[in-house]
Amino acid sequence: MSSEVAIHHREQALALLKADADQILQLIKVQMDNLTMPQCPLYEEVLDTQMFGLSREIHFAVRLHLIDEEVGKEIMENLEKQLSALHEAAQAQKSSE
């Protein structure tokens, strides 16, 4: 029974971390849609704060053995790739105007 509970906690931790990563991506999309460009200090401050918070959540989950360190790195790398693609798309749109 405790093995089932542990598995449930791991799955729940992973789902919550992925949801937080998705929330950061959505927050940045909203900022960009509302004309806050990536060069804006507010954009960078929000992004840095959110990314730092997520990295601390991941570190905590790793320390509790809820996720593997590699899984945590994958979450961060995936979010960074998505944010980079979003930034590049915004730059391309800006240069085409």
pTM of the model: 0.84
Query: What Å distances lie between residue 68 and 41, 44, 74, 97, CA to CA?
Result: 34, 29, 10, 44
Residue 92 has pLDDT above 70, yes or no: yes
Residue 88 has pLDDT above 90, yes or no: no
Q: Give the pLDDT of residue 76.
A: 97
Q: Give the pLDDT of residue 39.
A: 64
Domain map (residue ranges) of the chain = 2-96
Contact status, residue 12 vs residue 42, Cβ threshold 8 Å: no
Question: Domain 2-96 carries which CATH code?
Answer: 1.10.287.750
Contact status, residue 23 vs residue 75, Cβ threshold 8 Å: no
Of the pLDDT bands very low, low, confident and very high (cuts 50, 70, 90), residue 73 is very high
Contact status, residue 72 vs residue 62, Cβ threshold 8 Å: yes
Give the pLDDT confidence of 1-38 residue by residue, as tens digits: 588 988 999 999 999 999 999 999 998 888 777 755 65
- Cα angle vertex 51, ends 49, 54, to 5°? 110
